[in-house]
Amino acid sequence: AKSKGRDTYRFFNEEMNYEATEQLNIRVGLRKALELNQFQLFYQPQLEMTTGKIVGVEALIRWFHPELGMVSPASFIPVAEASGLIVPIGNWVLQEACREAARWRDSGMSNPVVAVNLSALQFARGNIEQAVSDAVASAGITPQMLELELTESIMLHNTESVLATVKRLKQKGFAFTIDDFGTGYSSLQYLKSFAVDKLKIDQSFVRDITEDEDDAAIVRAIVQVAKGLGLKTIAEGVETAEAMALLAQYRCDEVQGYYLGRPMPARQFMAYLQQYGEC
């Protein structure tokens, strides 16, 4: 038993060591990743239920590290946020997503909309208004072609100033979605004060929607609340035809998930659109 205990201890130790090393690699590597062009945006389609058309796309960042391979944003975005690097990285994401949207429009899509994820620090320190305006201006697209996804955690701090910024950007024509809706705090309170356009129902409620009656009830309730407030809904994490059918029955406006398509490189997304039908 004693030796087993020691083995377990050593195992944990090595595991922790490995994780610490990886964290360090991420922190060090992240600083150079922008200038070394190691980031790429992947795009995941969003489908409108009533028309069956692809009406938008979410841009999701990928990091291709020479030794670590593809690093998931779930492991490097928190590091980027803690170090402040999320501000320049976030600006690059905005620029790149807008450039891509311009390409889609130029290739004949009538109404391409790209959704970009924002972090709290971009509001606190990043001059987000300037960054967003610069991105659309230099890409030559309209604000209507860019959608901004906020998590409830962004609104938790400096609520007043975030609220004012959102209001000004909305006046310029940018649309806002609350991401991961239902997982944060005081969701309903925020809905009252934040004039957003869309709620993205968190995938934790969507995943088992066909099996779990509670999840189904929550999703149905969110759609109803949104409708009452004049907001659109999009469900993320839609993996099956059955889930999609149920969401259609609940009158959820849009869906996004592996069932329709995984996040993919821009070139592949072009081909996807040609096959599936355009924006």
- Give me the residues that bind ligand C2E (CB under 6 A), please: 44, 60-61, 72-74, 77, 90, 93, 117-119, 179-180, 203, 236-239, 257-258, 263
End-to-end CA distance of the chain: 63
Least distance in angstroms from the C-beta of 189 to Ca ion: 20
Between 79 and 270, CB nearer to ligand C2E: 79
Nearer to Ca ion, 14 or 204 (CB): 204
Q: Give me the least distance between CB of 57 and Ca ion, in Å please.
A: 12
Question: Residue 215 CB, nearest distance to ligand C2E (Å)?
Answer: 14
Residue 83 interaction partner, one of Ca ion, ligand C2E, none, beta carbon < 5-8 Å per kind: none
Give the HSE-up count for residue 273: Cα atoms under 13 Å, Cβ half-sphere: 25
Residue with Cβ nearer ligand C2E (91 or 230): 91
* Phi, psi (deg, nearest 5) at residue 208: -110, 25
Task: Select the binding partner of residue 93 from Ca ion, ligand C2E, none (C-beta < 5 to 8 A, by kind).
Answer: ligand C2E
Q: Which one of Ca ion, ligand C2E, none is in contact with 263 (Cβ closer than 5 to 8 A by kind)?
A: ligand C2E
Nearby residues of 246 by Cβ (< 8 Å), 6 or more positions away: 209, 210, 216
Q: Please name which of 149, 48, 44 lies closest in space to residue 94, comparing C-alpha atoms.
A: 149
Residue 112 backbone dihedrals phi, psi, to 5 degrees:
-75, 135
* Distance, CA of 101 to CA of 174 (rounded, Å): 14
Least distance from C-beta 204 to Ca ion, angstroms? Answer: 9
For binding to Ca ion (CB under 5 A), which residues are involved? 117, 149, 179-180
Residue 119 binding result from ligand C2E, Ca ion, none, given CB thresholds of 5 to 8 Å by partner type: ligand C2E
Question: Which is closer to ligand C2E, CB of 191 or CB of 235?
Answer: 235
